[in-house]
Structure 1
Amino acid sequence: MPLIPERVRRWPRPWRVALLTLLALYALYLVAGNVFLNTPLFDAVTNRKPEKFSMQTGPALTLLPGHAVVWNIRMRGQANRTVYIFRADRASAWISLTALFGREVRIPRINAIGVESEVERVEQAIPPPPRGDRGWTLRFDAIHSDSIRSGRFGKLLIVGEGSGTVGFLKQVRGGPSELFDSTAGFENATVSYDGVTLLDQAHLAARFHYPRHYRDDAPGLRKFGILWAQLQVDGRSQAINIDTAGPHVKVGSVPAEARLNADVVMDRGVLQPGSRVVWRVPVHAGVHAPDRGLLSLQLDVAQDIRVQARLPRDPETGSELHADLRVTGRKIPFQAPAELLPRMSGDVRGAWRFESLNWISDLFVRKPWFHLDGGGLLEGDLKIVDGQLAPGSTLNVPQVAAVAEVAGVRMLGDARAVGRIVDGAPPQAELQVEIPRFRAAPVDAPKALLFDGKAMALTLRGDARLQQLRDGMRARLHFDNARVPDLTAYNRYVGNESMRLLGGTGLLSGDVTLDSAGRVGQGRADLRGTGARMQVAGMALRGDAQVKARVQRADFDSRQFDLGGTTLSLRNVQVGDDAGKANWWGEATLRSGHIDAAAPYQVDARADLRLRDAGPLLGAFAERSEYPRWVLGLLDSGEVQASGQLRWRREHLVVDDLQAENARLSLRARLDMEQAQRQGDLYVRWGLLGAGIEMGGGKRTWHLAGAREWYDGRPRLLPESKPAP
């Protein structure tokens, strides 16, 4: 059988030559084209910069120049931090060969089958090239598919029966890009976010385009400022299920009979009048996710944007919500969503039972020195004007556990919290926490009881603007007459071998101001002890005591505290076992007092004293029987005015420059007490008589002749301090 038909052989020779040439060229194209598409040569051409663009394909076929059919396609591209992934079971495309001569890859149409697409953000960015006009141009007039299976945009996933046509132009190497008029839609779609189904049986339709521009004209989110888009949604809404019963909150969804309807048009970042969204979504929230009702959300756009929300009252939980907010203007600030706040005004009223209310205290404090522990019902009536909570706004928590940690003490109890916005320049946010009954323990020993009482009040106040609230917040903590069941619990703060509390009860009142980090600015603590028993410098004391501590300045960062003005009063004091004389008294006032709580712990103070008599001062150096007879006559010589300087470290108390005077007595002393060891010097004078005692190494040495000269020649125990102003 001849290879060339008889009819063709009768053609003129030039025609036959031309035909054979064309056949040969076509055969060559078939071989070369299909070899190129199905060998690594194709990968070498298309994957020259795989970090920016890569494509893997299965079998491919080309029968006509400029046309190809490719199976099992996967393409990946990255621009800056955005990654695009496209998969298709099959695609066919025509390429304009003539456009190649103009440095343009133009594909008038691509038909794809079984399409899946993904768009996501990644941490590793690929910097875009600088603006330029010398690269090749890629022009895809219409990429069409009637079988789109899914589309994923970050955590948002759409699965269904999709179709769409997208066209775009992009000049590589920093050139301009353009998105042609494009459409995409799904029928019978399921929409989920981070694995939680939001909609099913949904109809979605979108249309979008933006003009030609260079990347630096509208990078990233700024593209919304040049985009025209329309989105239509009609679907069955799933119920949102928020279960807080376990250690971690579980968020899911369950089928429900509710709907989402939306028709939104945006032109260059501005919502167009007539845009509307209505979403009715059942809410199940709380322990084991009880039904909270049907939440209705509605957005309407006219000259402004109006957002309304409503959740009917649940008689079992008390939950309800009524919100009506208006946003001035229609522009959406995609780059800085917080810019919507100054444009927002309206009312929000409602109640909700939260499993944790600690987020309320987090609005006020920077460090967790105060928090609301556990959950409870929150009732609110908020008035918003130009993005700020306005005076008249209130917040109420009828019952919640409250915890405050101040100066190493944890105070806790069931509380009622009331928040409000009050007039000011600017308006002030105030949270009042009332704790009817409370107990306090050391932070590091929560089972030990320091005191308990009634009617503690904590007030936090600061700038109502949320961005500034925590920075300038000030708090006041106040309580009166808390019961101290056992004074020995305070040995952890004052106790050592030289000074120990042995028993007694008391009442404690406190009033301090704090900042948002829980640092004390100023404050007072008044402790009245009854039947207090203590041991000081080896002497047993029993009586009533009152300490009025005053904090003039507190720097918790460097752990420095000024206690000037603090007073100590002792009444009905019995010294030793002399039960017949329980009427001694004394008062001490700190002219200056400084605590350095950084290691090593140290207290320095200068005090003024009023004493009924000098008996306890003399008793610190010797027993009564060891003093000369004329000294014994001074023990009850009347009220004594005294002053002195002290330094206290853990297990170590030093007193220096102690001076006591009255009409009959003059006394000078210095004393060093470390654990059970005592050493020091004493000088006492009555008229022309004087005596000195040198104490150290467990011995006492008396100096009767030249006692004052001996005392003045003894070294100081502490550096001389400057008198307080």
Structure 2
Amino acid sequence: MPLIPERVRRWPRPWRVALFSLLALYALYLLAGNVFLNTPLFDAVTNRKPEKFTLETGPSLTLMPGHAFVWNIRIRGQANHTVYIFRADRASAWISLVHLFKREVRIPSIDATGVESEIERVEKAIPPPPRGDRGWNIRLDAIHSDSIRSGRFGKLLIVGQGHGTVGFQKQTKGGPSELFDSTAGFEQATISYDGMTLLDEAHIASRFHYPRHYRDEAPGLRKLGITFAELQMDGRSQAINIDTSGPHVKVGSMPAEARLNATLTMDRGLLQPGSRLVWRVPVHAGVHAPDRGLLSLQLDVAQDIRIQARLPRDPDTGSELDADLRVSGRRIPFEAPAELLPRLSGQVKGAWRFDSLNWIADLFVRKPWFRLDGGGLLQGDLKIVDGALAPGSRVDVPKVVAVSEVAGVRMQGEASAVGRIVEDAPPQAELQVAIPQFRAAPVDAPKTVLFDGKAMALTLRGDARLQQLRDGMRARLRFRDARVPDLTAYNRYVGGNNVRLLGGTGLLSGDVELDTSGRVGQGRADLRGRGARMQVAGMALSGDAQVQARLQRADLDNRQFDLGGSTVTLRNIQVDGAGDANWWGEVALRSGHIDAAAPYEVTAQADLRLRDAGPVLGVFAQRSDYPRWVLGLLDSGEVQATGQLRWRRDHLALDDLKAENDRLSLRARLDMAKAGKRGDLYVRWGVFGAGIELDGEQRSWHLKGAREWYDGRPRILPASPPQP
């Protein structure tokens, strides 16, 4: 049988040449086209910027110019923070070859089967190119599939029998893009969020498009503000399971016979009148998730957006909910959802028995310095006007355990809490926590009792506008005459061996103000010690003490505290167990600073009033070591003094100690560390003067030129700046 039919051989020669030429070209195309699609040449052309776009394919076949069949397709692309991935078992596509000469890749149709898609946000961004009009135009008129298996958008996953047609065009190198009128839908779909099933047996139908625009005109979520979208959804709702029996709350779902029905239309960021959503979802919540009833949620759109929620009263737990809220206008601020709050008005009434009420504290504070432990019945009636809680709103928590952790001290006790709105400009939200009995201990030593007492009050107060609720919140913590059973518990804060508390009891009162992060703004603490025994610089002291700490400013994050204005008063003091017990002294801090970060350090400048200078002289020498004229000054009367102090762990330094009265003039500096103590003392009475150089247990006396000797000695601390 001849290879060329007789009929063709009768054609004129030019025709036969043309036919054979066409056949040769077609054979060449088949060879070149299929070699190109199935070798690394194709990857080299399509994946020139793999960080932005990659196309992976399995076997491919082209039989006609501009048309191809491709199997096992995977496309991955990234624009800014958004990553999109598409997979398909097979696709066939036509490409317009003519448009390639116009710098345009136009694909009139793509038909795909077995499609899966994923869209998610990643931290590492690929910055988009600046606006431009020089790139190639990519136009896909219709990507169609009748076998979409799944679509994932972040943690939201839709699996079912899907179908859709999508078309778009995009100019590369910063050019404009447009989404053509597109549709997508699912039958018998299952919708889940982060692994928890929300709906099953669902029907979904959607339509969407947005106009031609440059990226900088509507980047990111702002693109939703220029999008038209319709959504119809009907499905069987799963019950929500919230189990609080374990150490962590477990949220899940279980089959139920409730439904969600929605018909929503949005045009350029505005929900359209007639949009409606009704969701009836069974709720199981609490320890082992008991049944709480059927929660009905309804959204209706007219000129405003109305949201209603109903939960019938449960006679066993007392739980119920009745909410009717209205959002003025129909615009949805996708970029900043909190902007909905100033547009919100309505009323929420209800009661709910919670196994944990700590979330209430989360509404008021940013860091976990305050919490409510345990559960109870929460009853509330909240009135909201233009995004602010209005007077008449109230929340009651009859019984709970309140825990506060401030500056390393944990205070806790059974409490009741009442929240209300106080009329002001603007109105103030106030949560009052009453703690009839409380106990305080170091956070790292919970069995050590620092103090315990009655009638602690914690008040949190701030702007009642929902958007600003936590921003300007202030807290005030107050208690009075708490019992301090053993002053030695405070040695952990004193530190070192130069100052040690040896015993005694006391009463402590406190009043501090904090911000929402638990940083102390200002406050005071008054400690009145009875029968206090302590050791200071090797001397044993006993008597009564009162510390009135005034906190001007605190930064708990950096552990910095200003204590200017604080005072220490000593009464009925006996030194080294000898003599009468009627010595007294007063210390007032002109400035004081605690740096509690490593290394721990206290610096202060103080004014002192002392009954006499006996204890100061006793630090440098025994009474019997002083000249007789000095002994006559030990009881010389009240002394006014000033000094500079630096206190580190196991290291106490004093400088510029100056004491004066009608008979006595005294100058001293002292450095006490683990290795021992050293220092200089100058004391004068009239024309008599004496100096002592102290080095451990060694003392050197300087009687001639004592003042010049003292002034020539090196300082222990840097000179303090002059006070304003």
Residues 1:202 and 2:198 aligned together: no
In the TM superposition, 1:271-310 aligns within 5 A as 271-310=271-310
Q: Can you give the 5+ residue segments of structure 1 that lack an aligned partner in the other structure?
A: none
State whether residues 273 and 301 of structure 1, in contact with CA within 8 Å, keep that contact through their aligned partners in structure 2.
yes
The structural deviation recorded for 1:554 is 4.9
The structural deviation recorded for 1:654 is 3.8
Q: Partner residue of 2:564?
A: 563
In the TM superposition, 1:493-512 aligns within 5 A as 493-494=493-494, 497-512=497-512
Q: In the aligned structure 2, how far is the partner of 1:23 from the partner of 1:475? A: 93
Note the alpha carbon deviations across 1:186-216, whole angstroms, 9 max, x for none: 2211112222221111111112233444555
State whether residues 482 and 509 of structure 1, in contact with CA within 8 Å, keep that contact through their aligned partners in structure 2.
yes
Residues 1:640 and 2:641 aligned together: no
The structural deviation recorded for 1:387 is 2.5
Q: Partner residue of 2:439?
A: 439
The structural deviation recorded for 1:164 is 2.8
Count of residue pairs brought into register by the alignment: 706
Question: 587, 590, 593: which one pairs with 2:588?
Answer: 590
Q: In the superposition, relative to structure 1, how do residues 474 and 92 fare at CA in structure 2: closer, same or farther (>3 Å)? A: closer
Residues 1:527 and 2:527 aligned together: yes
Q: Partner residue of 1:389?
A: 389
Q: In the aligned structure 2, how far is the partner of 1:670 from the partner of 1:176? A: 80
Q: Partner residue of 2:476?
A: 476
Q: Partner residue of 2:149?
A: 149
Note the alpha carbon deviations across 1:435-493, whole angstroms, 9 max, x for none: 32222233444432221212222223333446655554433222111111112222334
Q: Can you give the 5+ residue segments of structure 2 that lack an aligned partner in the other structure?
A: none
C-alpha RMSD of matched pairs (Å): 4.3
Q: Which stretch of structure 1 is more off in the superposition, 94-103 or 287-296?
A: 94-103
State whether residues 495 and 501 of structure 1, in contact with CA within 8 Å, keep that contact through their aligned partners in structure 2.
no
State whether residues 47 and 55 of structure 1, in contact with CA within 8 Å, keep that contact through their aligned partners in structure 2.
no
Instruction: Give the structure-2-normalised TM-score.
Output: 0.82
Q: Partner residue of 2:256?
A: 256
In the TM superposition, 1:203-602 aligns within 5 A as 203-246=203-246, 248-352=248-352, 357-373=357-373, 378-465=378-465, 468=468, 472-494=472-494, 497-536=497-536, 538-554=538-554, 557=558, 559=560, 561-564=562-565, 566-571=567-572, 573-577=573-577, 584-590=582-588, 592-597=590-595, 599=599, 601-602=601-602
Q: In the aligned structure 2, how far is the partner of 1:435 from the partner of 1:527? A: 21
Q: In the aligned structure 2, how far is the partner of 1:524 from the partner of 1:185? A: 65
SS at match of 2:114: strand
Q: In the aligned structure 2, how far is the partner of 1:470 from the partner of 1:615? A: 54
Q: Which stretch of structure 1 is more off in the superposition, 284-293 or 327-336?
A: 284-293
Q: In the aligned structure 2, how far is the partner of 1:318 from the partner of 1:42? A: 69
Identity of aligned residues (%): 63
Q: In the aligned structure 1, how far is the partner of 2:465 from the partner of 2:22? A: 76
Q: In the superposition, relative to structure 1, how do residues 318 and 138 fare at CA in structure 2: closer, same or farther (>3 Å)? A: same
Q: In the aligned structure 1, how far is the partner of 2:288 from the partner of 2:204? A: 33
Q: Partner residue of 1:138?
A: 139
SS at match of 2:132: coil
The structural deviation recorded for 1:92 is 4.4
SS at match of 1:303: coil
Q: Partner residue of 1:658?
A: 659
The structural deviation recorded for 1:227 is 2.6
Letter in 1 for 2:241: N
SS at match of 1:39: helix
Q: In the aligned structure 1, how far is the partner of 2:720 from the partner of 2:146? A: 91
The structural deviation recorded for 1:307 is 1.3
Q: In the aligned structure 1, how far is the partner of 2:219 from the partner of 2:691? A: 88
Specify the structure having the higher radius of gyration (Cα): 1
Q: In the aligned structure 2, how far is the partner of 1:436 from the partner of 1:188? A: 58
Q: Partner residue of 1:49?
A: 46
State whether residues 327 and 343 of structure 1, in contact with CA within 8 Å, keep that contact through their aligned partners in structure 2.
yes
Q: In the aligned structure 1, how far is the partner of 2:143 from the partner of 2:700? A: 109
State whether residues 259 and 281 of structure 2, in contact with CA within 8 Å, keep that contact through their aligned partners in structure 1.
yes
Q: In the aligned structure 1, how far is the partner of 2:371 from the partner of 2:646? A: 34
In the TM superposition, 1:677-696 aligns within 5 A as 677=677, 681=681, 683=683, 694=692, 696=694
Q: In the aligned structure 2, how far is the partner of 1:35 from the partner of 1:608? A: 102
SS at match of 1:340: helix
State whether residues 57 and 71 of structure 1, in contact with CA within 8 Å, keep that contact through their aligned partners in structure 2.
yes
Q: In the aligned structure 2, how far is the partner of 1:221 from the partner of 1:273? A: 23
Note the alpha carbon deviations across 1:582-618, whole angstroms, 9 max, x for none: 551524141624235364624434334253x776567
State whether residues 537 and 672 of structure 2, in contact with CA within 8 Å, keep that contact through their aligned partners in structure 1.
no
Q: In the aligned structure 1, how far is the partner of 2:641 from the partner of 2:516? A: 39
State whether residues 397 and 416 of structure 1, in contact with CA within 8 Å, keep that contact through their aligned partners in structure 2.
yes
Q: In the aligned structure 2, how far is the partner of 1:701 from the partner of 1:167? A: 98
In the TM superposition, 1:39-188 aligns within 5 A as 39-41=35-37, 44=41, 48-50=45-47, 51=50, 52=53, 54=55, 56-60=57-61, 62=63, 69-93=69-93, 108-122=108-122, 123-125=124-126, 127-128=128-129, 130-132=131-133, 135-136=136-137, 138-140=139-141, 142-170=142-170, 176-188=176-188
Note the alpha carbon deviations across 1:287-337, whole angstroms, 9 max, x for none: 443333322221101111111223334455554433222111112222333
The structural deviation recorded for 1:109 is 4.6
Note the alpha carbon deviations across 1:516-575, whole angstroms, 9 max, x for none: 44444433222222222234455444333333333345566583523335140413x445
SS at match of 1:274: coil
SS at match of 1:531: strand
Q: In the superposition, relative to structure 1, how do residues 490 and 519 fare at CA in structure 2: closer, same or farther (>3 Å)? A: same
Q: In the superposition, relative to structure 1, how do residues 498 and 690 fare at CA in structure 2: closer, same or farther (>3 Å)? A: farther
Letter in 2 for 1:127: P
Q: In the aligned structure 2, how far is the partner of 1:103 from the partner of 1:620? A: 94
